[in-house]
Structure 1
Amino acid sequence: MRDGLQAYCRECSAEYYRQRQEARGKKVRVKVAVPPGHKRCPGCSEVKPHLEWELSKSSSDGWASYCRECRAERNRIGYFKRKYGLSPDEVDALMAEQRGVCCVCLAAPAEHVDHCHKTGRVRGVLCFSCNAALGQFKDRPDAIRRAAAYVEGNAWKPTLVAPGVYQLPS
């Protein structure tokens, strides 16, 4: 209007906007009163104190968009999707298929997705120690077999056959 005021009050304008959006098939979030020092998380729809939020220089209020818990879960989902192409349900299915136990040591809980570094194919879910051990052996079966023989007491002592050529024990 000429006087700088709107024709309708704020509440009526908000209601009109909500009706138009719903007519277009979109959902409008109901405004929730948030006390000072708190913020509403769009992930869990809870109002939480600022202590449960990460700082963010890029946001207008200085706090992250999602609370710490929701942000961690979103990051976990994104990581598995980016790195392995797995959804959370597929990761849970892998763990359930192994009954939550590492398939190498059969003792520790399986929490880490193991994959072939050459092909990227997911092999299964391992405990931290077994997954790290396979990584240290660079997924080389021959090195893993020699390590197993060494642990079982069969010392790995190659025999020099020719200069630079060693014969491995059978």
Structure 2
Amino acid sequence: MIYKTCKDCGEDKPVAEFWKNKASKDGFAYYCKACFGRRNGRSYRKKQAALGKEARAYRRHSDVPERMKYCPHCKEIKSVDDFGSNRANKSGLAHHCRPCHSEVMREGKRRKHGSERNYLLKLRYGVTEAQVEEMIAEQGGVCVICLRAEPKHVDHDHLTGLVRRVLCFKCNGGLGQFHDDPELMRLAANYLELRGAHARRMRIEIGAPVFGGPGRVRWDPFWRTRGDAAQSARHYHLRQKYGINDDDAKWLSELQVGYCAVCCDLPAEHVDHDHESGAVRGLACSGCNTGMGQLRDDPVALRRAADYVTGRLVRRVADADGGTRLSLTVPDVDPATVPKGGWKAFWEEDGQYRKETLPFDEELDMPTWGDLDEDGVPAPG
């Protein structure tokens, strides 16, 4: 083994303890790696002091035991298991331990973006927190669909990525359950009003659009005890909650051919019932059942949600000052002038308008046949 004397510490060490240096005669540095590091450390700290900065005390990387790593934030040597992975680093580990990594990321977001919420809004939707607050104020501080809850969730078009408006938690979730499909929401509104194909089929079969419910015990006294020996747990659950039994559920599933009573696309998994009367309307898939629940089983909210995703709900109209403002209902009213809880007066009228008017029913600004010349071109003026 070849040895070399370090000019700083004066010790004879193996040449493996010296960095290579082509400029020297023997091809190795004059100082051992430990002394070389201390020299560089002193030079670096001297330059930092001249700039008015304070650097941490010098520490050699080789002083860290195997399977351990130094965290520069908490200044502790910890097991590598306490560090997350980062393929961009040579070691494959993150610079900071897990608790410090989260704190450093939060501090960076606050420093660069003002807040973590502002960072996430810009990252996900391309808008700032100030722009969201401006949209909320323009909406009158309410969700544009239900007009009752506080808007907290930025909603965007999943196809284009463009931000639409700010909604409450339930309305935002309801849109997702219906996959932003306006026709499916209108089908659900008709289903809740017992006007759809499923309700018509029920009337043909049993003479009523719903059945079961708590009142069934009064008109069918033998129903609760008929054949209840050795019944399944589902039988008793259905009997107690919906006023139907396992045989009723099977009959209903056969009537619907196993598919959802609303969308008719997915398997029927859940018993859907009227929360006021307790009567069973039909069997629905998970998405339709949850979506109707999040939109409060309200046909008006469902039709407003359908018009919202098609761009018919939120309109921009001229205001008295020569600018523009939002219009959320028919009849039109300035959202900024409606007090909290004051939308109820417009709710029913707006719901009736959307029930009677579909997108293709609206009067279009098109020339009539009387306005066309003999070549089929609109006449001037």
Normalising by structure 2, we get a TM-score of 0.27
Aligned to 1:66, which of 99, 103, 106?
103
Counterpart code for 2:50: Y
Checking the alignment, whether the CA contact within 8 Å between 2:106 and 2:116 is kept in structure 1 is: no
Equivalent in the alignment of 2:159: 118
**Higher RCO structure, 1 or 2 (CA under 8 Å, sep 6+):** 2
RMSD value, Cα: 3.8
CA displacement at 1:86 relative to structure 2 = 0.8
Aligned to 1:17, which of 41, 47, 51?
51
Cα distance in 1 between the residues matched to 2:124 and 2:101? 24
Gaps of at least 5 residues in structure 2 are 1-6, 9-37, 56-72, 75-81, 85-93, 201-355, 357-381
Confirm whether residue 127 of structure 1 aligns to residue 168 of structure 2: yes
CA displacement at 1:70 relative to structure 2 = 4.9
Higher-Rg member (1/2) = 2
Equivalent in the alignment of 2:182: 141
Equivalent in the alignment of 2:207: none
Cα distance in 2 between the residues matched to 1:71 and 1:107? 37
3-state DSSP of counterpart to 2:101: coil
Query: In 2 relative to 1, CA 148–66 (structure 1 residues): closer, same or farther, beyond 3 Å?
Result: same
Aligned to 1:105, which of 140, 146, 167?
146
Deviations 1:139-168 (A, max 9, x none): 1111111222222x2331079xxxxxxxxx
Cα distance in 2 between the residues matched to 1:7 and 1:141? 69
Deviations 1:109-143 (A, max 9, x none): 11111112222221101011100111111111111
CA displacement at 1:77 relative to structure 2 = 2.7
Cα distance in 1 between the residues matched to 2:124 and 2:105? 22
The alignment covers a number of residue pairs equal to: 127
CA displacement at 1:59 relative to structure 2 = 3.2
Checking the alignment, whether the CA contact within 8 Å between 2:109 and 2:119 is kept in structure 1 is: no
Query: In 2 relative to 1, CA 70–95 (structure 1 residues): closer, same or farther, beyond 3 Å?
Result: farther
After the TM superposition, which parts of structure 1 deviate over 6 Å for at least 4 consecutive aligned residues?
A: 2-8
Equivalent in the alignment of 1:81: 122
Confirm whether residue 154 of structure 1 aligns to residue 194 of structure 2: yes
3-state DSSP of counterpart to 1:114: strand
Deviations 1:53-107 (A, max 9, x none): xx85423465126369657865433332222111221122122222331111112
Equivalent in the alignment of 1:91: 132
Cα distance in 2 between the residues matched to 1:72 and 1:17? 27
Cα distance in 1 between the residues matched to 2:108 and 2:148? 31
Cα distance in 1 between the residues matched to 2:109 and 2:49? 35
